[in-house]
């Protein structure tokens, strides 16, 4: 069916895709990587168009035009804080496209369709459709269209899993009885419902893992389509996307010390604080400070580590964080940023938000590299992060956070924690850090507090002579 | 396109497994700094599924099938255009420290 030259061109595409991932490993070559993948895509599409004569050029041109008109503004206008939403939306589009092609392929091949083809198509459609609605819900949560907190009810896992079970059972039935056309829409409907239920029950802070898992599903369903069409470029591209999503999901969930199953079915963030509310806690008090107090401490500091979290992006405080770093650096103070793997709403999100605020990437430090530096650091400033700094993860075996790798903020000589209130973080667990004697709590909006802090430092005049 | 031969399936499975292990190895070496653009890039690459839609578009049996694949082409095209463009936009943000 496909002629040989196309197959060779597909191999060229595959090589370019693989090289692009190779070049993505470091910043220096990353843009080349993106161009290489773009070239690979162009070759795959153009050689397909050349080899197969599509009669309906009107529809082809129309669809491409729609894609360009929709895609261009999305790519150019989306703010970096909203990149997770854009990613969820693209997973929704990609998986729906794959599921629709799967359905089209099924109807096209009827009635002479073999067991293997229908089996793979069923699996591919279930995965594609559930990824579509799952990604739509993820988009809605990230965009704030629906509440980010998990939607949980008694027996929800039973309901979700039986929905999936029914979809799979229908898939098997369809594979054995390929001509029973009526099964397909029901199976698709159940898969759509399952995706909806699955992600509705997951909270906002688990989005980095969820997005990575959905990314993996979208890739695997594309690869499955490649099996049906015997198309190698599709198999490889899908496998690359699938494995990338999988690795990122593993990194994300291990950074939370949780399993996939726990992320998908655990419903964390909905629980009422349990266990960690000790009686001693009521007696403990936090020390509240003003930005002015913090400026006084910073004046004598030599090294500062900023610990940003999603709250910083929500408050749009990244630009004033950068301004603070500039003021400090002018005073000869060393400034670094500590990035926890799950900071933000998708893998690597915090790096992108800070890079957008013109923070040079050498100042962005990964958790494992920066943790040994906290004990020698004068001031750690926590902006919009919470659970990832909670020392209970290291010390309190009964804490739900116990075992989660955290940033060792508490080891810094002074900790400045900017926060709206003492309300616990997403996990519902109180943060031990608030009560430490070396912690200065600053209550208020991150952007306002940091703006005051910067103003206060500026009032105190120019660069300090280091002695 | 009826039936995929057994030999093809075996070869394709082999390709899938090799690509997965290669992908896993390559992704492990990507700096954490770049995980966001990495995800937008790999997902843009997987939109090569547009090729599948185009192939079905050559000879659809009826208008329903034609509609399904035309919508799929529009969706995949959106992902390709926005995916590569936003990846480049993100990558351009990563800058080195300027000497002061």
Per-residue pLDDT tens for A1-60? Answer: 455 688 899 999 999 999 999 999 999 999 999 999 999 999 999 999 999 888 899 999
Please give the Cα distance from A212 to A244 (Å, whole number).
8
Q: Is residue A194 within a helix (H) or strand (E), and if so which, with residue range? A: helix A183-200
Task: Name the A residues in 206-245 with CB < 8 Å from any B CB.
Answer: 211-212, 215, 218-219, 222-223, 225-245
- Which candidate in A206, A241, A387, A408 is catalytic? A387
Please give the Cα distance from A174 to A109 (Å, whole number).
14
The domain spans of chain A are 1-77, 81-265, 279-459
What is the average pLDDT across A348-355? 95
pLDDT in tens, A309-326: 999 999 999 999 999 999
With a pLDDT cut of 70, the percent of chain A lying above it is 92
- Per the structure block, which two tokens stand in for A362? 């050498």
Q: Is residue A339 within a helix (H) or strand (E), and if so which, with residue range? A: strand A334-339
Q: CATH homologous superfamily for A279-459?
A: TPP-binding domain (3.40.50.1220)
Q: Indicate the length of chain A as a whole number.
A: 467
Please give the Cα distance from A312 to A448 (Å, whole number).
11
pLDDT of residue A12: 96
Q: Give, to the nearest 10 degrees, the angle between helix B35-46 and helix B63-93.
A: 160
> What is the separation of C-alpha A140 from the centre of its chain, rounded to a whole number of angstroms?
14
pLDDT in tens, B56-98: 999 999 999 999 999 999 999 999 999 999 999 999 999 887 6
Distance from CA of A65 to the nearest CA of B (A): 8
Q: Indicate the length of chain B as a whole number.
A: 100
Residue A302 CB neighbour total at 10 angstroms:
13
Lowest mean pLDDT among A277-281, A374-378, A382-386, B21-25: A277-281
Q: Is residue A326 within a helix (H) or strand (E), and if so which, with residue range? A: helix A318-330
Please give the Cα distance from A176 to A305 (Å, whole number).
61
Of B4, B19, B56, the CB nearest to A230: B4
Q: Count CB pairs under 8 A between chains A and B.
A: 382
Q: Would you call A378 a catalytic residue per the annotation?
A: no
Q: Do A27 and B37 touch (CB under 8 A)?
A: no
Confidence bin at A271 (pLDDT 50/70/90): very low
Q: Is residue A366 within a helix (H) or strand (E), and if so which, with residue range? A: strand A364-366
ipTM score for this prediction? 0.94
* DSSP letter string, A241-294: HHHHHHHHHHHHHHTTT--HHHHHHS-TTSSPP-S---HHHHH----B--HHHH
pLDDT of residue A5: 84
Q: Do B36 and A83 touch (CB under 8 A)?
A: yes
Q: Chain B: residue nearest A67 by CA? A: B78
Of B1, B30, B41, the CB nearest to A37: B41
Task: Name the B residues in 31-90 with CB < 8 Å from any A CB.
Answer: 31-58, 60-62, 64-66, 68-90
Whether omega for the bond prior to residue A111 falls within 30 degrees of 0, making it cis, is: yes
Give Cβ neighbours of residue A459 (< 8 Å, ≥ 6 apart).
none
Q: Do A347 and B36 touch (CB under 8 A)?
A: yes
Q: Is residue A121 within a helix (H) or strand (E), and if so which, with residue range? A: helix A115-143
SS3 A331: coil
Give Cβ neighbours of residue A38 (< 8 Å, ≥ 6 apart).
B84
pLDDT in tens, A196-235: 999 998 888 888 899 999 999 999 999 999 999 999 999 9
pLDDT of residue A462: 60
What is the average pLDDT across A134-159? 88
Q: Is residue B84 within a helix (H) or strand (E), and if so which, with residue range? A: helix B63-93
What is the average pLDDT across A114-128? 94
A325 touches chain B (CB under 8 A): no
Q: Do B4 and A56 touch (CB under 8 A)?
A: no
Q: Do A239 and B20 touch (CB under 8 A)?
A: yes
Q: Position of tokens 């799967």?
A: A102
| pLDDT over 80 (residue A458) | yes
B14 touches chain A (CB under 8 A): no
SS3 A383: strand
Give Cβ neighbours of residue A326 (< 8 Å, ≥ 6 apart).
none
Contacts of A217 in chain B (CB under 8 A): none
């Amino acid at each position: 069916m496909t002629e040989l030259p196309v197959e060779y061109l597909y191999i060229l595409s595959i090589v370019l895709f693989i090289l692009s991932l190779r070049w993505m490993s470091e910043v220096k070559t990353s843009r080349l990587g993106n161009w290489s993948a773009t070239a690979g895509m162009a070759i795959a599409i153009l050689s397909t168009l050349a080899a197969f004569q599509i009669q309906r050029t009107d529809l082809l041109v129309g669809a491409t035009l729609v894609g360009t008109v929709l895609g261009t503004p999305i790519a150019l206008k989306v703010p970096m804080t909203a990149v997770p939403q854009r990613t969820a939306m693209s997973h929704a589009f990609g998986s729906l496209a794959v599921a629709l092609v799967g359905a089209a392929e099924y109807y096209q091949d009827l009635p002479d369709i073999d067991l293997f083809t229908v089996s793979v198509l069923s699996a591919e459609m279930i995965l594609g459709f559930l990824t579509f609605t799952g990604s739509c819900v993820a988009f809605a949560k990230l965009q704030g269209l629906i509440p980010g907190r998990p939607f949980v009810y008694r027996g929800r896992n039973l309901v979700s899993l039986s929905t999936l079970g029914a979809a799979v059972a229908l898939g098997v039935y369809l594979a054995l009885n390929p001509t029973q056309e009526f099964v397909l829409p029901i199976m698709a409907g159940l898969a759509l419902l399952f995706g909806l239920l699955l992600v509705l029950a997951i909270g906002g802070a688990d989005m980095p893992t969820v997005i990575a898992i959905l990314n993996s599903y979208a890739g695997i369903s594309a690869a499955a389509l490649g099996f049906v069409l015997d198309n190698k470029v599709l198999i490889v591209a899908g496998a690359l996307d699938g494995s990338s999503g999988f690795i990122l999901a593993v990194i994300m969930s291990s950074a939370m010390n949780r399993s996939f199953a726990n992320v998908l079915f655990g419903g964390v963030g909905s629980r009422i604080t349990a266990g960690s509310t000790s009686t001693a806690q009521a007696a403990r008090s936090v020390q509240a400070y003003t930005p002015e107090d913090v400026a006084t401490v910073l004046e004598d500091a030599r090294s500062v580590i900023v610990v940003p979290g999603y709250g910083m992006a929500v408050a749009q405080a990244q630009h004033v964080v950068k301004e603070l770093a500039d003021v400090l650096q002018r005073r000869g103070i060393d400034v670094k940023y500590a990035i926890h793997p799950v900071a933000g709403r998708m893998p690597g999100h915090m790096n992108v938000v800070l890079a957008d605020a013109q923070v040079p990437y050498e100042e962005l430090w990964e958790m494992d590299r920066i943790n040994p530096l906290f004990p020698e650091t004068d001031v750690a400033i926590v902006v919009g992060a919470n659970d990832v700094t909670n020392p209970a993860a290291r010390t309190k075996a009964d804490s739900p956070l116990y075992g989660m790798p955290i940033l060792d903020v508490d080891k810094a000589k002074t900790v400045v924690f900017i926060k709206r209130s003492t309300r616990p973080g997403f996990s519902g667990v109180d943060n031990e850090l608030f009560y430490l004697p070396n912690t200065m709590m600053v209550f208020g909006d991150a952007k306002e507090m940091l703006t005051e802090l910067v103003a206060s430092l500026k009032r105190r005049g120019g660069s300090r002579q280091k002695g | 396109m009826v039936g995929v031969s057994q030999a093809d399936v075996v070869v394709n499975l082999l390709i899938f497994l090799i690509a997965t292990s290669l992908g896993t190895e390559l992704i492990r070496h990507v700096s954490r700094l770049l995980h966001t653009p990495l995800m937008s890039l790999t997902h843009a690459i997987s939109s090569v599924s547009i090729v599948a839609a185009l192939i079905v578009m050559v000879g659809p049996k009826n208008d329903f099938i034609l509609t399904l694949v035309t919508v799929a082409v529009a969706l995949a095209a959106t992902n390709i255009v926005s995916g590569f463009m936003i990846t480049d936009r993100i990558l351009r943000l990563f800058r080195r420290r300027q000497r002061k």
